[in-house]
Chain A
Amino acid sequence: MIGSSLVPCGQFKTSYSEDTTLFLTPASRRFCIAAIVLAAAAPLVLGPYPLTLMIQIGFFAIAALGLNILVGSTGQISLGHAAFFGFGAFASAWLNSTVGVPVLLAIPLAGLMTTLLGLLFGIPAGRLKGLYLAIATFASQYILEDFFARATWFTGGSSGAMAAPASLFGWELSGDRQYFYVVLVFLVVMFVLGANLLRTRDGRAFVAVRDHYLSAEVMGVNLTRYRILSFGISSFYAGIGGALYGHYLGYVSAEGFTILQSIQFLGMIIIGGLGSVTGTLMGTCFMVLLPEVTEGAVSLIKQVVGDVPGLTGALAYIKEAAIGLAIVLFLIFEPDGLVHRWRTIKSYWKLYPFSY
């Protein structure tokens, strides 16, 4: 959406269907397919730790895309996304262990359950704006955290819930290598669905509500309905991401789904680019890899300078501070996110060497 004016020159479309493809240019289509193929080959070459990181990027990116549809495209705000992510994790574990639904079916069903929950919370939230909305979603974070602690039948309470590994036709997909492909398939499907949504009627209505709600209403868009719907869709993505997370860890405990995680989700979409599908993935990569890079930098300092007293002990704080710092720096210097930088670089090279 944002930056759609940066279509490379020399692109001429001769039919409407050609003009409404998922990708702006054939080049970006090829790039995307190549990226998927490369990702599919990753488990064959990557070591276990990088693979873990890629799996994390996968389920976080799915959840972050939901938040980006809500915040970036519809212009709402949510400080409770991690709680919906957590609800999806618990719901899928519960569906599998208590109801007996196979994991690969439990994951989308958990997404639907989380959608219903999101719609429920969206009904009051859809009528609020600005600070009031922020506070209402903040409240939903704590209401759900409290629910996780109390609803022992659903979450196992303080001892948490076990989440069985996925299996397909009796073949257990438990190792990281197998599970990577499960996450990759969900990631691709969810991103294609999201991109399609944003180029059709309801996706345009979301952006219209964000850009100018009064004229959206005059164009026939029911504002409350679309704000609530956006909460529902955002929760669907959160639920699927959370479910994938739960079955990956094998164990779901309420501790992971705090306000801090909600803010990290916001960080992902701010850094990646509000309202951008591609940007969501970039921002998630950034957020997942930043602590690793920070750790690398700290150990480099230790090698060069020697062990500064307290540095190792402070590592956990440094990692968190780096996330906060990154969000602030992006808000100041690159408010359109990584995706904007990426487009600028692309259009620079398109015209190279006549770049001015």
Chain B
Amino acid sequence: MSRDPSIVPDRHPVLEVRDVSLGFGGVRALTGVSFSVAKGELFSIIGPNGAGKTSMLNCISGRYRPSSGQILLDGSDVTGLSPNRRATLGLGRTFQNLALFGHMSVQDNIMVGRHHLLKNNALTGALYWLGARREELAHRRVVEEIIDFLEIAPIRKAQAGTLSYGLRKRVELARAMAVSPKVILLDEPMAGMNLEEKEDMARFIVDLNEEWGMTVVMIEHDMGVVMDISHRVMVLEFGCKIALGLPEEVMANDRVKVAYLGIDEDEQVA
């Protein structure tokens, strides 16, 4: 059952992808993909392996430079900007393969998310009591809220590299939240998790969207979860957008059935 939003997708697009193409040598990873995500929306991207979903997120976060097309964040063109500039403008993300700072504590990992919001520098940091202390503590408070929300208080001092897979995924979400982004990009946040961990993660993402009011763009394979929690879904296949709409519309789309769900029309008829 999909949530019925009163969100009008194209009125206040906080993220706009215009006709983006991307190639690697001979391989075309993306071909003329366009979509926009409204403020407060939970937008999912699905598609078979190698469809170009991660490449799409990489174009948005600045890891890849599209060969043509534009990316707009909150109305301003970010296509030429470096990833760190985009973070400053309000983009947070998690990775499909874990990408935590393995030797840092969980708490410090999340504090790195506050990097662009903190003003202290090497000098004021070194002069801690005369400089950075007050600011660091204020941001620790924000981090602590995120820690409480994601229920990771008991592991806040643990070294990130020593945690279980499921917990590391959760810490990555925490770190991306700490950026206080306008849009948060989640690349397969539930991949490789057991059922219980998946349920927790789905609940966190819904709360993140509803209670924290965060705009979410998520790649996910678990169709049950996607159809359940997304406002809208986009389907990619071989780098092309083959469908975009409400979850039930997408589910009913013939091309999607063939391409993604592996249901052959002829078989269905027969």
Is A98 engaged at the interface, CB distance under 8 Å to the other chain? no
Is A125 engaged at the interface, CB distance under 8 Å to the other chain? no
Is B99 within 8 A of A212, CB to CB?
yes
Contact among B61, B133, B137, B157 with A218 in the assembled complex (CB-CB below 8 Å):
B61
Is B120 within 8 A of A200, CB to CB?
yes
Is B122 engaged at the interface, CB distance under 8 Å to the other chain? yes
Chain B residues with CB under 8 Å of A223's CB are 84
Is B118 engaged at the interface, CB distance under 8 Å to the other chain? yes
Chain B residues with CB under 8 Å of A217's CB are 82-84, 87
Chain B residues with CB under 8 Å of A203's CB are 122, 125
Q: A16-B137, A222-B84 are known contacts. Are A1 and B179 too (CB-CB below 8 A)?
A: no
Chain B residues with CB under 8 Å of A292's CB are none
State which residues 65-95 of B face A: CB under 8 Å.
82-84, 87-88, 92-93, 95
Is B105 engaged at the interface, CB distance under 8 Å to the other chain? yes
Chain B residues with CB under 8 Å of A221's CB are 84, 112, 115
Of A85-93, A128-136, A171-179, A189-197, which binds chain B?
A189-197
- Mark interface residues in B95-133 (1 if CB within 8 Å of A CB, else 0): 100011111110010011111101011101111100011
Is B102 within 8 A of A219, CB to CB?
no
Chain A residues with CB under 8 Å of B140's CB are 16, 19-20
Is B197 engaged at the interface, CB distance under 8 Å to the other chain? no
State which residues 183-215 of A face B: CB under 8 Å.
193-194, 196-197, 199-205, 207-208, 210-212, 214-215
Interface size for B (C-beta < 8 A) is 47
CA distance A201 to B82 in the complex (A): 20
CA distance A197 to B120 in the complex (A): 10
Is B2 engaged at the interface, CB distance under 8 Å to the other chain? no
- Mark interface residues in B143-168 (1 if CB within 8 Å of A CB, else 0): 01000000000000111001000000
Is A194 within 8 A of B126, CB to CB?
yes
Q: Which residue of A lies closest to B129 (CB)?
A: A196
Is A200 within 8 A of B136, CB to CB?
yes
Contact among B99, B102, B112, B122 with A214 in the assembled complex (CB-CB below 8 Å):
B99
Is B137 within 8 A of A196, CB to CB?
no
**Which of the listed residues A214, A220, A221 has the most CB atoms from chain B within 10 Å of its own CB?**
A220
Nearest CB on A from B171, distance (A): 12
Is B88 within 8 A of A220, CB to CB?
yes
Is A220 within 8 A of B104, CB to CB?
no
Nearest CB on A from B183, distance (A): 13
Contact among B88, B108, B133 with A204 in the assembled complex (CB-CB below 8 Å):
B108
Is B121 within 8 A of A215, CB to CB?
no
CA distance A129 to B216 in the complex (A): 35
Nearest CB on A from B48, distance (A): 25
Is A219 within 8 A of B125, CB to CB?
no
Give 4 closest A-B pairs by Cβ, nearest first.
A200-B125, A220-B87, A220-B116, A211-B101
